[in-house]
Amino acid sequence: MEILMLPRIKILFTLILGFLACSTAQEINTTRTERAIGTRQYIWEDSSRIDAHYGGSRILNIQIWYPADSLSGNSGLTPYLLFEDQLVNRLNGWNAADFRSLKRVKTASFINAIPAVSAKTPLLIFSPSLGGNLSFYTYYAERFAREGYIVMGVNHRYDSEVVIDRESVVHQANHSFYDSLKALEIPQQITAEGYRKAMGQRQLILAEDLLFALNKLLKEALFQNIIDKKQIGVFGHSIGGAAAIYTSLLDTRIRAVIDLDGTPPSEALGKGIGVPFLFIEDLTDYRNLEGYAKMHRRRSEFCERNSADSWRILIDGINHNSFLDIDFYMSEDSGVIRTSHQSLESISSNMIRFFDFNLRGAKDLNFEKPAHTNCEIIHFQKN
């Protein structure tokens, strides 16, 4: 099970920001081709679905990034943490000093800017890791918006670090479902396949969240006429990657899927999926370590079962948390910032290549191996 052991320990380590480190991240951010980025934030609730394990309706916190026409109608740069002002002194593990440090982080997107769209625009939907937060993937969202995509991130009630409802009630993460499952011994109390199927119950809920958000977005006046419904991709990290895969099983509008280091859901492992797929993973010693060897084979077998072309990009020197942008935005060490930027840039550049090829009809798909580390690229080509 890939639970992101991030928020409490790692955030409290990295929230002591230095001005020099902030300048380093800001300098990197501003070296890109300048294209205005807008963002909108929403609280949506699916009252038609009651959570089978925790009870209560499905409350989602949404952030949308998009190419902006101008800075008119905005109220300044968007805070890094979604609904940051409403979470001050109300979030487990955070204190006032943490939030003061957080305010030094500079994103590149402007709140409520006017969209700049002259034609139908592809949409990318993403889901964070377990215990994570869509805010920790801001780098990708802004990078994609600069390339002309509309991007929608979803925080899930109970599974993400936090969501707030329309009455500003804070709902913290609740991992009792995963904890109870993790406590079972394999194979004495549950088989490995039974474990994966049980996890699939939760992955299905997250996938349904993504599709609810998609349907809701397509009814929003600001976006309903500018999203290309034939160019919708989805990506996620860890359990969010499993949810991304699951959406393609539920809805034919999903045309391409990227999984960032997440185990595919049991429902998909046995039969594969029918749309182009990309794994991006940390490169482990799968040739000599039995546990990693099994995982490597399982993921390759999944790609082989897919009826569309699939790829795996395995990058050396990264780990499960390297897919987050926290070190880039929040570390006080300029060397850590630059290392994080190398990883984020390599990952996001290949994600853009994949989506451009499969959603926008780019003629070539030439993945780029990062110059700073080893990398394996495997193509599962279909006739």
Place of tokens 């080893």: 374
Q: Which of 173-182, 208-217, 306-315, 326-335 has the lowest mean pLDDT?
A: 326-335
Tokens 């699951």 sit at which residue?
A: 246
Q: What is the CA radius of gyration of the chain?
A: 20
Provide mean pLDDT across the span 283-308.
92
Residues in the chain: 383
For 12, which DSSP code?
H
In the prediction, which pLDDT does 22 show? 54
Average pLDDT of the chain, as a whole number:
89
pLDDT, tens digit (0-9, with 9 covering 90-100), for 133-165: 999 999 999 999 999 999 999 999 999 999 999
Is the per-residue pLDDT at 344 higher than 60?
yes
Mean pLDDT of all residues in 265-289: 93
Question: Among candidates 325, 11, 18, which has minimal Cα distance to 142?
Answer: 325
Return the pLDDT at 27: 63
Q: Give the C-alpha separation, 28 to 13, whole Å.
A: 22
- In order of 59, 163, 170, 209, 305, the CA distances from 51 in angstroms are 10, 15, 17, 11, 31
* pLDDT higher than threshold 80 for residue 71: no
pLDDT of residue 291: 87
DSSP 229-293: EEEEEEEEETHHHHHHHHHHHH-TTEEEEEEES-PPPHHHHTT--SS-EEEEEE---TTT-HHHH
- On whether the CB atoms of residues 352 and 147 are closer than 8 A, the answer is yes
Q: Which of 7-21, 195-209, 231-245, 321-335 has the lowest mean pLDDT?
A: 7-21
User: For residues 343 and 320, is the Cβ–Cβ distance under 8 A?
Assistant: no
Q: Tens digit of pLDDT for each residue in 176-227?
A: 999 999 999 999 999 988 999 999 999 999 999 999 999 999 999 999 999 9
Name the CATH code of domain 7-380 (choices 3.30.70.260, 3.40.630.30, 3.40.50.1820, 3.40.50.2000).
Answer: 3.40.50.1820
**82-120 pLDDT, tens digit each:** 999 899 888 888 888 878 878 889 899 999 998 987 779
| Tokens 């916190």 found at | 61
Rounded Cα gap, residues 299 and 280, in angstroms: 11
The residue with greater pLDDT, 109 or 372, is: 109
Q: Tell me how far apart the alpha carbons of residues 183 and 181 are, in angstroms, rounded to a whole number.
A: 5
* Cβ 262 vs Cβ 2: under 8 Å: yes
% residues pLDDT > 70 (the chain):
89
pLDDT digits (tens, 9 = 90+) for 13-47: 333 334 445 556 656 654 444 678 999 999 999 99
Pairing of strands 37-50, 57-70: antiparallel
State both tokens at 214. 């998609």
**What does the domain layout of the chain look like in residue ranges?**
7-380
Two tokens, residue 51 = 């959570």
Cβ-contact 276, 367 below 8 angstroms: no
Per-residue pLDDT, 225:
92
Interior/surface letters 82-118, b for 16+ CB within 10 angstroms, e for the rest: bbbeebbeebeebeeebbebbebbbbbbbbbbbbbbe
Q: What is the pLDDT of residue 73?
A: 60
Type of residue numbered 357: F
What percent of the chain lies above the pLDDT cut of 90?
76
Res 28: pLDDT: 62
Please report which confidence band the pLDDT of residue 248 belongs to, taking 50, 70 and 90 as the band edges.
very high
The whole-number pLDDT of residue 101 equals: 78
Higher pLDDT: 130 or 193? It is 130
Residue 316 — pLDDT band, cuts 50, 70, 90? Answer: very high
Buried b (16+ CB within 10 A) or exposed e, 292-313: eeeebeebbebbebbebbbbbb
pLDDT at 4 over 70: no
Q: CA-CA distance, 38 to 190, in Å (whole number)?
A: 47
